[in-house]
């Protein structure tokens, strides 16, 4: 059970239409910060305690720069929007400078093996992770209307950083997507006969703009849960998307069954998509656009992968053994 203070923080974020994931993440960091300071109320603390906490994350926990930035964002929100006492813009803490790891990339044969053995009911979303370079949450949050069969494209709305983009759709997935949409249609028909059904979840601004959308086919999740659930925001009955953890577990177990020795996660398929596009001669700017990277420097990490070994430096041993 959350404390009264944390319940107030959650409600504050809900009132400002923060995403469910953001609320959960910010709450974890705020609770960690409070516990680090021996359960002192945040209103009794400020810049000094935040600096010590952020430095602790690096010095003791060795977190990555993105993780430390996430903690800072949560605490900045807490002090600015909830406590109305903004943190200083000149916080003095130890910044994480941990070297970014090169992404793990599968070979095309490994991808083929994984897709062949993945559980049938998850093959389509997993195929989209690789075939369109989607992030895991982008895949599970797809709506029926986001699939553009005419232009072989998928529209991603509010991706990382709130950005929209259009990505490629493999023609080979069209039959499976057509069947999946038929399944969604059958779920919707059954749900509409349920007097307690309130329609699919929509962000507040869309709910207001399109009042009928929650019960229209186009707005339904492409990969719906098999069960109805209660919306924690307003206690209404809805059909949510499948849980992302089922995909994570399936990929992990299937990779093991395929005897792939690399650490394979859903994001590995996105890394593989980018690397294989570059291997096939795609322009790095095109790959940047497909991935939704704001800076091409982020995309260039995949060129480093390609420059390893035979595609970069030729080992002198190869010449000796000729």
Residues designated catalytic? 135, 160, 267, 270, 293, 302
Helix (H) / strand (E) element for 165: namely strand 165-168
The alpha carbon torsion through 144, 116, 269, 248 (nearest 10 deg) reads 80
Long-range pairs for 14-22 at CB < 8 Å and ≥24 separation?
14/233, 16/81, 17/203, 17/204, 17/205, 20/232, 21/137
Distance CA 299, CA 289 (A): 9
Please give the span between the terminal C-alpha atoms of the chain, in angstroms, as a whole number: 69
Strand partners, 156: 165
Q: How long is the chain?
A: 322
Query: How is residue 11 written in tokens?
Result: 């409600």
CA–CA separation, 50 vs 52, rounded Å? 5
- Using DSSP's 3-state secondary structure scheme, residue 171 falls into helix
Question: Kindly report the CA angle at 65 between 141 and 85, in degrees rounded to 5?
Answer: 85
Phi, psi angles (nearest 5°) of residue 111: -65, -45
Contact 213, 202 (CB under 8 A): yes
CA atoms within 13 A on the CB side of 212: 2
How far apart are the C-alpha atoms of 90 and 14, rounded to whole Å? 29
Q: Which residues contact 202 (CB under 8 A, 6 or more apart)?
A: 210, 213, 214, 219
- Crossing angle (nearest 10°) for helices 266-279 and 284-291: 160
């Amino acid at each position: 059970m959350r404390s009264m203070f944390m319940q107030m923080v959650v409600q504050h974020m809900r009132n400002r239409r923060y995403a469910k994931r953001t609320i959960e993440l910010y709450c974890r960091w705020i609770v960690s910060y409070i516990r680090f300071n021996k359960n002192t109320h945040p209103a009794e603390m400020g810049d000094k305690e935040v600096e010590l906490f952020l430095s602790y994350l690096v010095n003791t926990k060795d977190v990555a720069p993105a993780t430390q930035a996430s903690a800072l964002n949560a605490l900045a929100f807490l002090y600015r929007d909830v406590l109305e006492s903004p943190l200083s813009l000149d916080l003095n803490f130890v910044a994480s400078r941990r070297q970014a790891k090169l992404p793990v990339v599968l070979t095309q044969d490994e991808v083929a093996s994984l897709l062949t053995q993945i559980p049938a009911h998850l093959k389509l979303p997993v195929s989209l992770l690789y075939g369109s370079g989607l992030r895991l949450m982008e895949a599970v949050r797809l709506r029926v209307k986001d699939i553009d069969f005419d232009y072989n494209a998928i529209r991603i709305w509010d991706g990382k950083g709130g950005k929209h983009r259009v990505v490629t759709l493999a023609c080979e997935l069209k039959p499976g997507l057509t069947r999946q949409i038929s399944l969604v249609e059958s779920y919707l028909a059954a749900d509409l006969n349920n007097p307690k059904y309130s329609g699919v979840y929509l962000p507040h601004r869309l709910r207001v703009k399109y009042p009928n959308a929650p019960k229209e086919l186009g707005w339904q999740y492409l990969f719906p849960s098999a069960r109805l659930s209660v919306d924690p925001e307003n206690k209404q009955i809805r059909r949510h998307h499948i849980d992302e953890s089922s995909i994570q577990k399936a990929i992990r177990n299937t990779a093991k069954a395929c005897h792939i020795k690399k650490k394979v996660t859903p994001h590995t398929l996105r890394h593989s998509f980018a690397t294989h596009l570059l291997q096939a001669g795609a322009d790095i700017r095109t790959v940047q656009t497909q991935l939704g990277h704001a800076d091409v420097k982020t995309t260039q990490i995949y060129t480093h992968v390609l420059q390893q070994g035979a595609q970069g430096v030729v080992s002198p041993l190869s010449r000796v053994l000729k």
